[in-house]
Every structure is written in C-alpha cells, then in structure tokens.
Amino acid sequence: MQQPVMKDKFGRRLQDLRISVTDRCNFRCRYCMPREIFGKDFAFLPKDHLLSFEEIERLAKVFLQIGIKKIRITGGEPLLRRELTALIERLANLDGLEDIGLTTNGVLLGKEAKRLKQAGLKRVNVSLDALDDETFMAINDSAMRTKPVVDSIKQAKEAGLEVKVNMVVKKGMNDHEVLPMANFFKDLGVTLRFIEFMDVGQSNGWDFKHVVTKKEMFEKISHVHELEPVDPAYIGEVAKRYRYKGTNTEVGFITSVSESFCSTCTRARIAADGHFFTCLFASEGLNLKDILRNGATDKELYQTIANCWRKRDDRYSDERTEETVKNRQKIEMSYIGG
C-alpha cells in the first residue's frame, strides 16, 4: 500500500526521480565534461562502486512507496552501461510507475531504440546542441558530427518512442544555431527544448554573461514563427511550453537562470554510486548505497529517504548570486545526472 505523500519544508512533493547509471560519457562537452579535467587519466567510478540493477530496482520500489510517479535514466551517457535494456524492463514492470524515460546524447540510441521500446521505455530526451558540424564538434570535443545523432532521433521515432531534443544554449558558443535548430525540428515534428546555460558543477566556466535567456530566444524564434502557449502537463513541469501555431509541434524553454522554478520542483536524483541528491545544484548527498549494502530493510530505507526529503529546503536558483556561484561547491553534472 502506498504511504502518504512526502513533502519538503516548502510543501513540494517528491514525484520525479532521476537515476544515473554511469558517470562515463563518450563526449567531452565543454559545458559539462571539459577534456582538460575529464582526460585520459581521470578516475571514473570503479564497477563495484556503481549501483547494481538489483539495487536500483529495490530503491525504485521504495521511492514508489514514497510517492514518485516518473523515473528518468541518466548518466554520464546511460547507453554506455551494459545491458541497460534489462534495467529498463525491471523498472517498467514496477507497480505504480507511470512513466519511464531516458536522457542520452543519441550516438548509441539508434541501434538500441527498438530494444528499449520493447523493454518498456516510453520517452527519450536527446541532447543536441547544434546542427552545424563545426559548431557541434567544437562543443562535444569528440569529432562526432550531427548526422549519427539526427539519424538516431529518426530511428527512435520510428520505434515508437516519444522524442524530445534538448539544446543547451551558451552565448558565443551556439546561440547562432537557435533558429536553425527551431526550423529543423519544427519540420521534423519533434519537440525542441532550449536550456539556459546553468552553473552546474565547478568545471564549466559558468558566468552570467554567457547566458542566453528564454526571452532572447523566444523573441528570435517569434520573428519567424508564431508561437502560442501550452498549459503545463503536470505540477512541477520545468519547461515553459509553446506550440508553433497551426501545428502540433512544440518548443519549450528551461529557464533555471532567468525564471527560476524552485518553488514547484518535485525532482530528486540518485548518482551512479548511490548518493541521493535533493537538488541539481547540491554540494553533498545521502549515501544510499552504503545503507543498502549494510543490510537496511525496506522500511529503514523508506524512513531514511523520507526524513531526508522532509528536511529539504533547496532553492538554489531562487537564491543565485555572483557570490553563491563563486563560493558554493557543486556536484558535477556528469556525476549527479541531468
């Protein structure tokens, strides 16, 4: 039987859980895993430090009792984790789970799309920050061109998966690609979401001057396409949604910097090594892996997680200042999951 819904200090429910399955990635994006830090000598998590599929499934069952409705698998690049479809199948069959999605850079998605769909995956979010090859390769720093990613997006659609594309926009990096991306994915009938460049982690060189705001992007697109607002699909939805008038194709904006949505945030994250984080901009997390491996019962896990959520008072984006950006130690995106 499902327990009463847990709320944090600001009355926010825990409804969405993001689970990272690896801290490794086959890209070295400048705003996430710059090569000078995440180079060939970087010490990624050893295999035995990762949560097993059995441990992830057990935690998911406990979180379902606490009140989550949706799970998203993240990384690193989650499709680097061997036999990921087996985990998807385990989770998709859990009672009470309404939705399961995956965030990926898309390189390995095409060949796995049918298997993922058959395993129970419903949705994929594909990260693609430019259509122009030169710009895209400068960002991912891995000699990867856009065609394999675009092909994977088309294959995922053909497999029956709901597909959205995420574009992180940084001034001077790829802001010239906003309109070409909007035009392309409008014609393809795929939802595109523009993400304001955020100060996640310590290594991406974030500065306010690098942020292209939702207002700026909206105005640029509106000069070419008429947009009409779309109501949120659920409480806590982060994207500001619009529809190209006369179509069913949407475009969205994730505005963590210019229009904070801390007040309705219902998300929590589990890193690949089992640490539980109540905010994307967290400095520390609760080590669920050690609690699991030290023999905790499901009841003890439930109580520990619930107590952690009740104490939650995170509202970093509401409180962001130049001082907090410089002085707060934050977990890297590749570790905590997007």
Summarize pLDDT for 217-268 with one digit per residue, the tens.
999 999 999 999 998 877 667 789 999 999 999 999 998 887 887 888 999 9
Q: What pLDDT, on a 0 to 100 scale, did the predictor assign at position 180?
A: 98
CB proximity list for 294: less than 8 A, separation 6 or greater? none
CB of 83 closer than 8 Å to CB of 61: no
As a CATH number, domain 16-336 is 3.20.20.70
Percent of all residues in the chain with a pLDDT value above 90, rounded to a whole number: 76
Average pLDDT over residues 277-289: 90
- State the residue for tokens 């990921």: 84
Residue-wise pLDDT tens digits, 100-111: 999 999 999 999
Query: What order of strands is seen across the sheet that includes strand 16-20?
Result: 227-229, 239-244, 250-254, 191-196, 162-169, 123-127, 99-104, 70-74, 16-20, 267-270, 275-277, 286-287
**Which range has the top average pLDDT, 29-38, 211-220, 275-284?**
211-220
Answer with the residue of higher pLDDT: 289 or 315: 289
CB of 205 closer than 8 Å to CB of 170: no
**Confidence class of residue 301 from pLDDT cuts 50, 70 and 90?**
very high
For residue 232, give the H/E element and its range.
none
- The average confidence (pLDDT) of the chain is 91
- Residue 1, pLDDT > 60, answer no
Q: Alpha helix (H) ranges present in the chain? A: 53-66, 84-92, 109-119, 133-140, 147-158, 178-188, 214-222, 288-293, 298-310, 316-319, 322-327, 333-336
